[in-house]
Each structure stands twice: as structure tokens, then as C-alpha cells.
Amino acid sequence: MSVNLSDLKARIEAADVYALAKRTPLELAKGLSAQLGRNVWLKREDLQDVFSFKIRGAANRISNLTDDEKARGVCAASAGNHAQGVAASAAHYGTKAVIFMPITTPPIKVEAVHARGGETRLVGDSYDAACDAALEYARKTGAVFVHPFDEIDVIAGQGTVGKEILEQMPRTPAAIYVCTGGGGLLSGIGTWVKSQSPNIKIIAVEPSGAATFKTSLEAGAPTALNEVDKFADGVAVKMIGSNTFDIASRVADLAITVSNDEICAAVKDVFEATRTVVEPAGALALAGLIAQVRDGTAPDGDCVVTISGANVNFDRIGHIVERAELGAGGEMLFAATIPERPGAFLNFCRALGSRAVTEFNYRFTESDAAHVLVGVKLSTMDERQQVLSDMQAEGIEVSDLSHDRLAKRHLRHMVGGRASADIPEVLYRFEFPERPGALTDFLINLDSRWNISLFHYRNHGSSEGHVLCGFQVPDDNADALHDQLSKIGYPMTLETDNIAYRYFLSG
């Protein structure tokens, strides 16, 4: 049965959130407005006491519990923002909160739940495992499970963001860009805004690797993703809710996606506008607006973006900064082949001209050609092609690696030697849960029949780790290796034919 939007609008109007939530400011970002050619307004939900809009939905849901339900307590599954909202709301309304979190949850987020009066239980390597444990706990104890996005009271609480936006805007905006994961914020904002001003465009923005709403729209029903990119962990949802899909599909005008690099660039833009570091999901809506301005599809007039949260781990900031310039088009990463002879390196540097070099990786080999990995600053988006043309004019073979995941995540940190050409090498990229002992478990599960010839791992402060691993394998054993690696159970990608690997590491 479809959700009655008139009833939901009434629930938003009656939502009891301000005992815990702030009426956050709506700020005109003057620098961004000049840059993007339209007024850009930031709805600063990162300024909530729990640093996220999630307090609104949790507060409204728990405020509506009966006395009997409060006596039984509440439980939830979350790796971050929802957990803090439920813990704070439960403490305020005098009920017990037990939060189930994946073992991969960073300590700072676990401690934040404790600081707000919640009890935590760490279970499994994923949200799904934590959610299953929370539902089982609710079944056994009678505790009320507080869903992070698919309950009407939660959606109504999030809808107060939309109500505030229309009250705070000096005039009717052309569009509101909403970060989208499970769809609670999108459904709430969209319902209220469309009831008051139907011509305002509601634009859902998702990461390209976690686009559950866009995928479901195309399928015509809530559809689970086969894989979920957890980079923007605040919106890394496998499947949109049934209620939120029903609502959002009626109130959203468009669903768009952006890359992780574009998200990182938007984090930088928010910092430059506010001097605040937000989490990747917090900058997602702005990334969507910027992407539409670039391709000429953004509506004219005032545009509002939701800055949804700032619960970012400190040790992730370096990785975000590293990727921001690529996402903004302010840096390019490329490979070049130059003759291995005196003077060739100088000629290459001259071809670069006065461009600022951000990184340079080179190692002598015994062949007659050298491969260099170079990062350069760009002053405009069009300069990327000019760099390639300048190199080619000097007879230098070049390949743009700015969008090559292996090059950005691994290769730029490990350019060194090549494998022996006499021993066939197969290269795989793996993902595994970033928890204590996970890397060791991964290595233990590798079959000792195959020698590891290359290995790179770097912790980015995320909930998932990334490993690049090379194996010395006779050609007739490649299928056996693949079958054995598949049994480990971690997502993996064969990268032997990757162009960056071929340039710098293969024999």
C-alpha cells in the first residue's frame, strides 16, 4: 500500500524534534555562488550536536513511543550517525538504547554512542550482520527496533529539514539537492517541499558505487545492489526501503550520481566555504550540483544543498585531500614513456613547461625505455588535453590515469621494480573488512602453492581495506588460482591487463 503523502505532511508538521535537534542555519556560500554562477545555499545539518541530520528522525520516532515501548527499550543497527541519534534520543526520553555496530566501526564512533548514553555491541563485518543481530535482539527482548530510514516517524523527522529550508529561504529556490542513501531525508524533504511549492526541483544525489535509488527507479521497484562502495559510508546502503522508495519515486524529480573523486572535491569546497571538514556523504549533494553545473543541466536560480553530516574519521582526511584535486579537475595523473638515455628526462621536463608537478615517480630499468608516473596541477578543465598534446608533440607516449582506480589507490604509492619476465604474474585487487586481524586472516587464507610477487596495502581509515596482490603462476594454473581465491570470500578484481600495471610493474 502506498504511503499517504498528505498524512506524512501532517506528521512532518507535528514532528517533535526540537527538544534534541537544532534549527540549523541556511547559509549563502558567496564564493561557491560566484564560482557556479548561481546562489548556492548550504543547509548546515553538520552543526547538529551529533553532527548529522539523523538526530531528527531518531528523536521523532522515540518521542512517539508508548510508555510500554519505552519500558522495553530500543535497539538499532548503525555504524555511525543513526547510532548517535538513537542513543541521544533514548537518553533524553528515559529509555535504554542498545546499538549493534559492525566490528569495523572506528573507535571514535563507538565512543560517541557511549558518550550519549547508549550501549554498544560489536557484531560481524558489515551493517547487514549488525542489523540481523539487532533484529534478533528485538525479537528476544521485546525492544523496539528503530529503523534508520524506512519508518514513517523517522521520515517525518527528517522532513523537518525541508520545512526549515522553505521558512529560511528569502525566495523560492529553483532546486534542492539531497544526499541519498536509504532515502529517508529525500522522502521527508521532498514530501514537504512538493506540498508547499511543487515547482521546486528535488534532486537526489548518490555515489556512483552506491546508487540504490537510481537503480531501483530504473527497475521500477526497490532493488538490492550486488556491490556497495562504502567510501561515502553515511549513504552506503544496499537497498532503499520500501516506504522510502514509494515516497521518493513520487517526490524526486531526478536521481544523479557522482564519483568518489567528485565527492572529495566537494568536501574541499565545503571546507573553503565554511572552514569545516565534513564527511563524504555530507558533501554529496554539493558534488551533485557541481556536476550538473559542469555539464550544463543545473537549473538557473537559487540552489540549496544539504550538508548532511561531519562524522569523518581524522585518518581519512589525508585520503580525501589526495583525491580532491583529481575530482575537481585541478590535477591529472598520467604515465609517460621516455627513452632510457641521457637528456631524455630533461626533454620530458621541458615538455611539462611551467606546470606545477604534484608528484613524480620513476625508477631505472634495464630496458631501453623508461616509464614515469606524473601528477600535475591544472588551471582549467581543458588543460588536461593540452598536457597530453604537448607530450605527444615531443614524441612522448602518454596515457591519462586520472580515472584509473588501481593507479590512484595503489600505484602512486609503490612505483618501483618490475616482475621478472621469465615468471608469469597474475594481479588481483581485493577488498576486505577493515578490522583488527583482517589483513592477517586474508594472508592466512592464501594458498601457499603460489608465491606472492607483489603486495600493497594502505589503511585509509575506511571500513574496508584494499589490497593489491601479485602471484607467480604458470599459465596453466591461472584458473586454479582464481578458483582458490574465490573461496576466500572477499570481493576481488583481476587487474593483470590494467594499463597502469602494464606500464610500471609487469614483466
Mean pLDDT rounded to a whole number for the chain: 87
Give percent of the chain above pLDDT 90. Answer: 54
* 408, part of any domain: no
Which of these is catalytic: 308, 402, 453, 463?
A: 308
Which of these is catalytic: 54, 163, 230, 408?
A: 54
The pLDDT of residue 449: 73
Specify whether 54 is catalytic: yes
Domain boundary residue, one of 322, 340, 369: 322
Domain boundary residue, one of 269, 295, 322: 322
Q: What distance in Å separates the CA atoms of residue 86 and residue 90, rounded to the nearest whole number?
A: 6
| Through-space distance between the first and last CA atoms of the chain, rounded to whole angstroms | 60
Kindly report the CA angle at 457 between 451 and 461, in degrees rounded to 5? Answer: 155
Q: What distance in Å separates the CA atoms of residue 232 and residue 234, rounded to the nearest whole number?
A: 6
> Which of the residue ranges 212-226, 327-341, 443-457, 483-497 has the most confident prediction, judged by mean pLDDT?
212-226
* 307, part of any domain: yes
The pLDDT of residue 1: 79
> Which residues 6+ apart lie within 8 Å of 203 measured at CB?
175, 176, 177, 178, 252, 253, 254, 255, 256, 288, 289, 292
* 410, part of any domain: no
Residues 139 and 174 in one domain: no
In which band, very low, low, confident or very high, does the pLDDT at 463 lie, cut at 50, 70 and 90? low
Given a cut of 90, whether residue 349 has pLDDT beyond it is no
Q: 105, 89, 16: which is closest to 49 by C-alpha?
A: 89
pLDDT in tens, 281-306: 999 999 999 999 999 999 999 999 99
pLDDT in tens, 75-101: 999 978 999 999 999 999 999 999 999
Residues 190 and 204 in one domain: yes
In which band, very low, low, confident or very high, does the pLDDT at 459 lie, cut at 50, 70 and 90? low
CA distances from 195 to 57, 199, 254 (A): 20, 10, 17
Residues 17 and 162 in one domain: yes
| Candidate from 73-87, 127-141, 441-455 with smallest mean pLDDT | 441-455
Total domain count for the chain? 4
Q: Any idea which residue has 582458490 for its cell?
A: 484
Buried b (16+ CB within 10 A) or exposed e, 426-442: bbbbbbbbbbeebeeeb
Q: What distance in Å separates the CA atoms of residue 98 and residue 117, rounded to the nearest whole number?
A: 10
Q: What is the pTM of this model?
A: 0.75
Domain boundary residue, one of 288, 322, 356: 322
* 33, part of any domain: yes
Mean pLDDT, residues 472-500 taken together:
84
In which band, very low, low, confident or very high, does the pLDDT at 415 lie, cut at 50, 70 and 90? low
Which residue would you say has higher pLDDT here, 358 or 208?
A: 208
Residue type, 138: A
Buried b (16+ CB within 10 A) or exposed e, 104-121: bbbeebbebbeebebebe
What CATH number is given to the structural domain containing 455? 3.30.70.260
The pLDDT of residue 424: 80
Given a cut of 90, whether residue 136 has pLDDT beyond it is yes
Residues 23 and 95 in one domain: no
Q: What distance in Å separates the CA atoms of residue 161 and residue 71, rounded to the nearest whole number?
A: 30
Give bridge partners of residue 398 from the DSSP assignment.
Answer: 336
Which residue would you say has higher pLDDT here, 85 or 351?
A: 85
Residues 301 and 375 in one domain: no
Give percent of the chain above pLDDT 70. Answer: 88
The pLDDT of residue 146: 97
Specify whether 308 is catalytic: yes
Do residues 222 and 244 make contact, with C-beta atoms less than 8 angstroms apart? Answer: no
> Which residues 6+ apart lie within 8 Å of 300 measured at CB?
38, 174
Do residues 357 and 312 make contact, with C-beta atoms less than 8 angstroms apart? Answer: no
In which band, very low, low, confident or very high, does the pLDDT at 231 lie, cut at 50, 70 and 90? confident
Q: What distance in Å separates the CA atoms of residue 437 and residue 426, rounded to the nearest whole number?
A: 25
Residues 288 and 200 in one domain: yes
CA distances from 322 to 172, 203, 281, 378, 408 (A): 37, 28, 17, 15, 9
Residues 48 and 59 in one domain: no
Give bridge partners of residue 374 from the DSSP assignment.
Answer: 334, 360
In which band, very low, low, confident or very high, does the pLDDT at 312 lie, cut at 50, 70 and 90? confident
pLDDT in tens, 14-65: 998 999 999 999 999 999 999 999 999 999 999 999 999 999 999 999 999 9
In which band, very low, low, confident or very high, does the pLDDT at 387 lie, cut at 50, 70 and 90? confident
Residues in the chain: 507
The pLDDT of residue 104: 77
Q: 378, 308, 272, 282: which is closest to 33 by C-alpha?
A: 272
Residues 157 and 139 in one domain: no
Mean pLDDT, residues 228-252 taken together:
93
* 186, part of any domain: yes
| Candidate from 179-183, 214-218, 390-394 with smallest mean pLDDT | 390-394
The pLDDT of residue 126: 77
Residues 369 and 464 in one domain: no
Residues 265 and 368 in one domain: no
* 352, part of any domain: yes
Which residue would you say has higher pLDDT here, 156 or 332?
A: 156
384 by Cβ neighbours in 10 Å (0-12 / 13-18 / 19+) ranks as middle
Residues 441 and 453 in one domain: yes
* 288, part of any domain: yes
DSSP-derived 3-state class of residue 389: helix
Residues 290 and 172 in one domain: yes
Range(s) of the domain holding residue 487: 420-504
Given a cut of 70, whether residue 343 has pLDDT beyond it is no
What CATH number is given to the structural domain containing 286? 3.40.50.1100
Given a cut of 80, whether residue 195 has pLDDT beyond it is yes
DSSP conformational letter for 170: S
* 409, part of any domain: no
DSSP conformational letter for 456: E
Given a cut of 80, whether residue 322 has pLDDT beyond it is no
The pLDDT of residue 340: 64
DSSP-derived 3-state class of residue 409: helix
SS (HEC) of 422-449: CCCEEEEEEEEECCCCHHHHHHHCCCCC
The pLDDT of residue 241: 95
